[in-house]
Structure 1
């Protein structure tokens, strides 16, 4: 196989590994708050929103050490062991206890930092300046198939269920645990390209770890990364909204009838369709159709603004905080399942616009320091996601939407600025010395 063919195969394997893992994990995140509300055990007092806030908070802090871990044990083993901790978190829901729930949340936060730093490293090392956009799109599209398969399973398993029984929960989470483990073992199929997986690092474990940590700190305070930080922060906020809050809102709407809980799965599928479409068109085909990054990010912002406005009109403001039986309130129009699912599609499409272009521009601008750069990317994204999951415990829907609109606008403007800087100077020498 040619070197380019080997690199493309690595990207495809990487995408399938993440697809299996996040078929399990994203489905878990989408349904866990609804599942927790249905627990019969008086010994469990956890909150899905709080768990996710812990995960992303620890995720954020762990990004400071993640490049060191990847440098020491390599990206392949980093992704495998991180994947095992993801599987542990999912398996915890089979027989949940408050202490194990929050302990697993801490562990998966650490695993997430290592996993995504290693992923960014593998993506960059297997790409060139001319293929980074295509490879980002391939990876993103494969990853987002996870939303389709996992949520289709939830819809079929929970169709017509008003209350989620212990048996329903256990069946779903045993299946999700097995699916996650399949993704972990797929990482062993990755082959080393002609260039090594990780950047050139000096010999010695301690030296490698320290150097990677120093690089992350230096990259964090560069002008380009500080500006991109606003865009990255927005993806963290809207990740929280579409992956945890919006599905809970749909499941809480009593006006959607007895199928409201199963609609969480359909909503996830619609998000996945939007993600896959965006990843395919704006990642894989972008070079052929020549859009450039700015118009795609602008499309993502406009798409999200439309979605937020329709959600504001369609979903009751107290839906994120409603008890298990749901809310009987209306917003400004008669609640429509069709509008709710259309908004799910728009949320996925807009998210893919932002993320494929952020992966592309970071892989291009920080090609020789990809592991530290992607660690900073995930540090910013995860700390904002943790903040959003925290305030989701308290804020009504319309306040959450207002925050998304303001930060999304600022993130779009700052992305335009960085893209202009990248277009003005395509040399990498400024970053090689970091």
Structure 2
């Protein structure tokens, strides 16, 4: 059994926390309309969520560096439970103010949870194990999506209603509350010892002005600028996939069933891709190039299939409400599975690249916050595009174009990856200090 202070133990705990909070939220969102018949409510709540997430993500790094990942993730986890509670309220009152406000609060809370998660997942492992840790996290995290899909399947299997029942939301509230509580059991970073025997490197928290300056410097870091298209595209497709495909085309139990396989595919994708990114046969730069090439191939196959499917219906049509027992269902679920597979591969790669740039916990907290901020800005825009009734075909084309554009922009960053960020003694990370704010060399 791994000791409690082992970095993999701590990353597993982080994964379970995200499993119980964001993973359950993802299952709810993947059903389309957050399980509601009126998808506009969830779309507007998601606009508020991702807008606040984008703003909060920019400053979550300094907050996490100041109060620590444990408390940050505990506070963030509570906001997920609040959001599920707002949907329970909507089931009875049909007033959308509470879900939208709860979505905004969740955006701020999620920025804390995910910045703490990123700092731990990327800084705790040794360089040779970063793909393994990212893959392990993603596998456990997406079990939350699987479990969160099984709950509505079981509770709504024979339902003829257009939305999930109260028990679904109550179950989610309990699970999300448990995730928040578990965050308090994380060790402080300075108590964690890496597998090579060296403690996790923690820089002393500077003054707030200096920490914020460190965040602002990310915006002139050429690597982060080139990764901007990849970051903004990484959640953009959720609005289209969940509302434009799942909610529009399938009935309530089939939406939950599709969601289950979407997140299950992510488990497979994360596990295999994490193994690839740590493959010792190749150097780090070569692994990055191989990963980027595979992403490109799967990307094109994925969205070409999506285009053929999308050309069979329009937003102006009446909802199809296909059931999983209907003829013609199988190829559609295969497409949805590939959607999930690519999502996991794409996000694992983005995290792996960030982790390959530096080993410093403080710097990675800022990178993670920036990543989630940009990702969430894209999410806010995409959910707003859906909320105003944009054609599903137009949404598909935008998603596809953004993903394609991100590949050549990421290429120079991959080509400039160093084989190691340790110095010749393999002890300390090389850091250039400018105005007391560390920037990876």
What is the TM-score normalised by the length of structure 2?
A: 0.84
Q: 1:364 aligns with which of 356, 373, 396?
A: 356
CA distance in 2, matches of 1:91, 1:32: 17
The corresponding residue for 2:220 is 221
8 Å contact kept, 2:17–2:183: yes
Task: Please say if 1:264 is aligned against 2:255.
Answer: yes
Residue ranges of structure 1 left out of the alignment (5+ in a row): 40-45, 252-259
- Do residues 181 (structure 1) and 177 (structure 2) align? yes
Q: Distance in 2 between matches of 1:372 and 1:316?
A: 41
Distance in 1 separating the partners of 2:59 and 2:377: 15
Further displaced range: 228-237 or 292-301: 292-301
- Give the equivalent residue in structure 2 for 1:255: none
Paired residue for 1:256? Answer: none
Q: 2:308 aligns with which of 286, 298, 313?
A: 313
Counterpart position of 1:336: 328
Match of 1:278 in 2: 269
Equivalent residue number for residue 350 of structure 1: 342
* Kept after mapping to 2: 8 A contact 1:311/1:340: no
Other structure's SS at 1:351 match: helix
Per the alignment, residue 425 of structure 2 pairs with none
1:54 and 1:109 in contact (8 A); partners too: yes
Report the CA distance shift for 1:301/1:161 in structure 2 as closer, same or farther (over 3 A): farther
Distance 1:298 1:200, change over 3 A: same
Distance 1:87 1:122 in 2: 23
Q: 2:84 aligns with which of 90, 93, 99?
A: 90
Q: Equivalent residue of 1:296, what SS?
A: helix
Per-residue CA distance 1:368-393 (angstroms, 9 max, x = gap): 21111111111111101111111112
Aligned pairs, number: 408
Contact kept in structure 1, 2:31 and 2:242, CA below 8 Å:
no
Farther off after superposition, 156-165 or 139-148: 156-165
Deviation at 1:161, TM superposition (A): 2.8
| 1:8 equivalent in alignment to 2:8 | yes
1:127 aligned counterpart, secondary structure: coil
- Give how far 1:200 is off: 1.2
Cα pair 1:135 1:284 within 8 Å, conserved? no
SS at match of 1:10: helix
Query: Is 1:109 matched up with 2:101?
Result: no
Aligned CA distance change for structure 1 residues 409 and 431 (closer, same or farther; 3 Å): farther
SS at match of 1:422: coil
Where 1:367 maps in the other structure, the secondary structure is coil
Please state how far the C-alpha of 1:175 moved relative to its aligned partner.
Answer: 0.6
- Find the aligned partners of 1:273 and 1:123 in 2 and give their Cα distance: 21
Once the two structures are TM-superposed, the CA of residue 48 in structure 1 deviates from its matched residue by 1.2
1:406 to 401, 409, 421: 401
Q: Is the 8 A contact 2:249 2:320 kept in 1?
A: no
Q: Is the 8 A contact 1:24 1:180 kept in 2?
A: yes
Alpha-carbon contact 1:121-1:197 (below 8 Å) kept? no
Match of 1:257 in 2: none
Instruction: Give the 3 Å change call, closer, same or farther, for CA 26–214 of structure 1 in structure 2.
Output: same
Structure 1 pair 430–319 and aligned structure 2 pair: CA distance change class (3 A): farther
1:157-180 C-alpha deviation (Å, 9 max, x unpaired): 222433236xx5211100111111
Q: For residues 239 and 430 of structure 1, what CA distance do their matches in structure 2 show?
A: 37
Aligned counterpart in structure 2 of residue 201 of structure 1, from 194, 200, 204: 204
The Cα of 1:31 is off from its aligned counterpart by 3.3
Q: Are the counterparts in 2 of residues 15 and 143 from structure 1 also a CA contact under 8 Å?
A: yes
The corresponding residue for 2:426 is none
Q: Deviations over 1:37-76 (max 9, x none)?
A: 369xxxxxx6211111111111001122212221221110
Q: Which residue, 121, 126, 129 being the options, matches 1:128? A: 126
Unaligned runs of 5+ in 2: 423-428
Partner of 2:41: 47
Judge conservation of contact 2:72–2:112 (CA < 8 Å) in 1: yes
Partner of 1:278, secondary structure, is helix
| 1:247 positional shift | 2.1
Provide the rounded CA distance (Å) in 2 between the counterparts of 1:286 and 1:8. Answer: 17
TM-score between the two structures when normalised by the length of structure 1: 0.85
Q: CA–CA distance in 2 between the matches of 1:392 and 1:386?
A: 10
Q: Secondary structure at the match of 1:262?
A: helix
Partner of 2:294: 299
Q: CA deviation at 1:320?
A: 5.5
**2:50 matches 1:56:** yes
Partner of 1:157: 155
What's the CA shift string for 1:336-381, capped at 9, x where partnerless?
A: 3112111111111111111111111101213221111111111111
In 2, the alpha carbon distance for the partners of 1:116 and 1:64 equals 12
Question: Which residue of the other structure, out of 369, 377, 394, is the alignment partner of 1:383?
Answer: 377
Q: Deviations over 1:65-102 (max 9, x none)?
A: 21222122111000001100111111111122322111
Contact 2:33 2:42 in 1 (8 A): yes
